[in-house]
């Protein structure tokens, strides 16, 4: 019995000894980024994917009192990760943000210093060049942006000021001895992005580097709103003035085919141009509109996502509802209790609709006048409907409760009413006749005296 117990103990000890290296090996597979920054526990570190579809979930890590932090993740492939130091109190200035290209199992030690003048500095340590490069260039761009607004260079120096965004990329590569193709590619992408943003903002008439399109023709652009704006700026430089409608759409399509080879970016920009065209489109002639539907269907043949293509075509066909005299669309909304409702249930009455959202300050500013209007004309044959465009139904309900709103409080549901009516900005008010036809696509606001003059005639 004693011998058995001893053998069991020896076996357990051997298992433990063999398990320790295995545990270390498992830990070694984890990617760890840790370090210290001159911020305290009133700040947090947000870690997020720089690009979508990476499978990386956003995490928020509160800094220790001495500014220490640590993030661990079992990355399975090289991944771009965005690190942002931000105050817990949202009304304070943002701390600092930068991307890193991390490898599975990599151990990174950051020793950082932040101040409002120099932004972010990498203090002496063993940080490798790829990571140091990204932090330094991010800091450089923030310093340049501040300089542009606080101590703006003279007009004669502005071209050189903008060129410095590109020149710093060259200096950075040499200084940090960069060889990693992925980091080099993204650094060049950032350089051209910031350069183009600066010359566009300053409206400089300069000759651009020949490789502008080539550098921005990357799926990096899918997650960078500046890149999309910069590509549009480059296209606009090549478009003739005073050209609109389908001709403009065709010219933009041709430029896309010429310059953009990345399939995903090509599709994203093409969709943007179709939506831009639809937002500006106005029905002036029913016969021409019918012909334009066929033209748009032809344009959408380039789209690879058939579901999105169908939505685009349906939305364009639905623009008929935004013309004066059109019948109200037969769609369902949802009330504050989640029940399905429709405009048709108020046929026989004038329907005054307020399209708004909980985050829209001008919308909320109109609410007192709207409530007064509804009270004043409660005995008239007029129905007042507040239709929320909020994507967050919780935010909508919270705002309704906060403002103590009564009456008909509806939300879009699955109606796509805002797309059907080509709503491009809120607050937006519209008025339907008792027979269900559209009287005013853009009715006067509640605070506008014209609305009372109109209602007095009913």
For the record, the structure tokens of 272 come out as 């943007």
Distance CA 238, CA 246 (A): 17
Say if residue 227 is in the same domain as residue 252. no
Residue 9 resides in a domain: no
Q: Burial, 183: exposed, middle or buried (Cβ in 10 Å; 0-12, 13-18, 19+)?
A: buried
Residues near 435 by beta carbon (within 8 Å), at least 6 away in sequence: 347
Residue 78: CATH number of its domain: 2.60.40.1120
Say if residue 337 is in the same domain as residue 450. yes
Collapsing DSSP to helix, strand or coil, 56 comes out as coil
User: Which of 178, 202, 237 corresponds to the end of one domain?
Assistant: 237
Say if residue 314 is in the same domain as residue 274. yes
Residue 266 resides in a domain: yes
pTM here? 0.71
Say if residue 99 is in the same domain as residue 149. no
How many residues in total does the chain contain? 458
Say if residue 103 is in the same domain as residue 70. yes
Distance CA 320, CA 327 (A): 9
User: Which of 287, 322, 357 corresponds to the end of one domain?
Assistant: 322
List the one residue out of 111, 126, 119, 118 whose CA is nearest residue 66: 111
Determine the structural domain holding residue 307 and report its residue range: 239-322
Residue 17 resides in a domain: no
pLDDT in tens, 69-86: 999 999 999 999 999 999
Residue 346: CATH number of its domain: 3.40.30.10
In the chain, helix, strand, coil percent, each to 5? 50, 20, 30
Residue 348 resides in a domain: yes
DSSP labels, 159-213: HHHHHHHHHHHHHHHHHHT---HHHHHHHHHHHHHHHHHHHHHTT---PPPTTHH
Residue 146 resides in a domain: yes
pLDDT number for residue 266: 93
Domain count, the chain: 4
| Terminal CA-CA length for the chain | 103
Taking all residues of the chain, what is their mean pLDDT, rounded to a whole number?
89
Say if residue 284 is in the same domain as residue 348. no
DSSP labels, 317-368: HGGGGGSTTPBPP---EEETTS-EE-GGGGTTSEEEEEEE-TT-HHHHHHHH
Say if residue 288 is in the same domain as residue 373. no
List the one residue out of 159, 155, 107, 113 whose CA is nearest residue 131: 107
Say if residue 338 is in the same domain as residue 447. yes
Residues near 202 by beta carbon (within 8 Å), at least 6 away in sequence: 158, 162
Report residue 405: phi and psi, to 5°: -80, 140
Residue 123 resides in a domain: no
pLDDT number for residue 100: 96
DSSP labels, 136-157: HHHHHHHHHHHHHHHSPPPHHH
pLDDT number for residue 318: 87
Angle, alpha carbons 270-273-277 (nearest 5°): 140
Say if residue 135 is in the same domain as residue 189. yes
pLDDT number for residue 134: 96
pLDDT number for residue 292: 94
pLDDT number for residue 27: 47
Residue 3 resides in a domain: no
User: Which of 297, 322, 347 corresponds to the end of one domain?
Assistant: 322
Say if residue 364 is in the same domain as residue 393. yes
Residue 11 resides in a domain: no
pLDDT number for residue 205: 86
List the one residue out of 443, 436, 212, 194 whose CA is nearest residue 328: 436
Report residue 420: phi and psi, to 5°: -60, -35
Say if residue 141 is in the same domain as residue 181. yes
pLDDT number for residue 93: 60
Say if residue 110 is in the same domain as residue 166. no
Q: Point out the residues of the chain with pLDDT beneath 70.
A: 1-28, 90-94
Distance CA 144, CA 31 (A): 32
């Amino acid at each position: 019995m004693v011998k058995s117990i001893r053998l069991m103990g020896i076996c357990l000890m051997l298992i433990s000894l063999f398990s320790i290296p295995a545990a270390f090996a498992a830990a070694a597979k984890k990617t760890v980024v840790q370090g210290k920054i001159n911020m305290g526990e009133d700040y947090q570190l947000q870690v997020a994917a720089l690009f979508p579809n990476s499978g990386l979930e956003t995490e928020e890590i509160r800094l220790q009192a001495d500014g220490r932090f640590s993030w661990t993740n079992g990355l399975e492939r090289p991944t771009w990760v965005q690190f942002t130091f931000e105050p817990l109190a949202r009304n304070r200035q943002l701390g600092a943000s930068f991307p890193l290209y991390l490898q599975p199992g990599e151990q990174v030690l950051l020793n950082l210093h932040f101040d409002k003048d120099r932004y972010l500095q990498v203090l002496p340590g063993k940080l490798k060049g790829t990571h140091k490069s990204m932090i330094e260039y991010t800091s450089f761009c923030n310093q340049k942006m501040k300089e542009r607004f606080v101590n703006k260079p003279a007009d004669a120096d502005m071209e050189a000021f903008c060129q410095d965004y590109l020149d710093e990329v060259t200096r950075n590569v040499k200084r940090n001895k960069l060889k990693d193709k992925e980091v080099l590619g993204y650094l060049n992408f950032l350089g051209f992005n910031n350069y183009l943003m600066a010359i566009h903002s300053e409206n400089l008439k300069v000759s651009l580097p020949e490789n502008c399109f080539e550098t921005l023709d990357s799926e990096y652009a899918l997650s960078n709103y500046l890149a999309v704006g910069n590509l549009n700026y480059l296209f606009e430089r090549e478009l003739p003035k005073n050209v609109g409608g389908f001709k403009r759409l065709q010219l933009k399509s041709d430029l896309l085919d010429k310059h953009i080879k990345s399939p995903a970016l090509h599709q994203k920009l093409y969709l943007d141009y179709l939506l831009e065209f639809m937002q500006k489109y106005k029905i002036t002639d029913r016969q021409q509109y019918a012909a334009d539907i066929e033209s748009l269907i032809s344009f959408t043949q380039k789209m690879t996502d058939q579901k999105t293509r169908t939505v685009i075509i349906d939305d364009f066909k639905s623009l008929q509802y935004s013309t004066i005299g059109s019948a109200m669309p037969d769609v369902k909304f949802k009330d504050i209790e989640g029940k399905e409702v429709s405009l048709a249930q108020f046929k026989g009455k004038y329907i005054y609709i307020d399209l708004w959202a909980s985050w829209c300050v001008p919308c909320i500013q109109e609410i007192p006048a709207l409530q007064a209007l509804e009270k004043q004309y409660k005995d008239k044959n007029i129905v007042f409907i507040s239709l929320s465009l909020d994507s967050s139904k919780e935010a909508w309900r919270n705002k309704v409760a906060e403002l103590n709103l009564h009456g008909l409080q509806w939300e879009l549901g699955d109606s796509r009413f805002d797309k059907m009516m080509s709503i491009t900005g809120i607050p937006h008010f519209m008025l339907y006749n008792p027979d269900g036809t559209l009287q005013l696509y853009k009715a006067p606001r509640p605070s506008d005296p014209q609305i009372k003059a109109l209602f007095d005639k009913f």
